Copies of this chain bind each other. A is one copy, B any other.
Amino acid sequence: MTTSDPAAPRRTLLLSGEASAAAGAGTPAFSPLYQQIKSLLLQSLQRGEWKPGDAIPSEQELAARFKVSQGTVRKAIDELAADNLLVRRQGKGTFVATHAERHVQYRFLRLHPDHGDRQAEGPATRTVLACRRSRASAEVAAALQLRAGDAVVQISRVLSLGGAPTILEDLWLPGTPFKGLTLETLTAWAGPMYALFESQFGVRMVRAEERIKAVAASDIAAQRLQVPPGTPLLSVERLAFTYNDAPMELRRGLYRTDRHHYRNELG
């Protein structure tokens, strides 16, 4: 293993610590250098070494730190940027992505006005109906990978778009990372909720899965959304994840679609 001659092209892999071991059968568990760099960067993001909005070290510096060429670091960063975890800005540096940026707000909200764009519609109005600590039901616990009865924070709110109440949603958050989240915190906060989670609790939502169904409005939902009971609504169930694919939020939304639609791009 002693690659002592200075000029030889280095093929030694990093493998810092555990990794590969205990793969059961004969799989060598090999991965290219840039993937290993990507993992290391991911770990730094995960443990909060660089906060959302911060610049990470330059490619040159990272290359020196990891003892690889700039191109290899570059490829690792390329993938993280493609996953929306990092944002490159030519001439300035590479930054940790954040939900707090202007112009990229509501990145996870796919509801759009039928006519015109979101700009024309004006800003959303948020009304928090409730925010209380409770115990996870079996269903919520399963989704958030908790045990039934564990502490959770439950939030209920209405979003109004273009002046009409349009989204009614319930959120469940794991109690431990969100200790101290109260109704006051929420109502005082002006920006997107995920930006609040970043700045106050150090939890950054990275990706999410949504399951959509069509349902009839219950009496209570109908009242809160100001539509007749039985009106067809989109039921949008979202599970949002932080860095290491750990689920951190379960959200159940009911969307009015009389003046809006859920937009999706298929690649």
Contacts and interface: CB of A to CB of B under 8 A. Distances in A.
Interface of A: 82-84, 107-108, 110, 207-216, 230, 232-234, 238, 255, 257, 261-267
Contacts of A264: 110, 209-212, 264
A184 to B, nearest CB: 29
A234 B234 CA distance: 8
Contact of A207 (B83, B84, B257, B266): B266
A215 B214 contact: yes
Nearest to A240: B266
A257 B236 CA distance: 12
A32 B204 CA distance: 34
Give the one of A208, A209, A232 with max B CB within 10 A: A232
A140 to B, nearest CB: 18
Contacts of A216: 232
A233 B212 CA distance: 11
B263 A108 contact: no
Given A232-B232, A233-B232, A263 B210 contact: yes
Nearest to A107: B266
A134 B216 CA distance: 36
Nearest to A260: B213
Nearest to A213: B257
Given A83-B267, A110-B264, A267-B84, A234 B210 contact: no
Nearest to A216: B232
Contact of A265 (B209, B262, B263): B209
The 8 A-B pairs of least Cβ separation, nearest first, read A214-B232, A213-B257, A232-B232, A212-B262, A214-B214, A211-B261, A208-B266, A210-B264
Given A232-B232, A232-B233, A263 B211 contact: yes
Contacts of A107: 266
A207 B265 contact: yes
Nearest to A238: B266
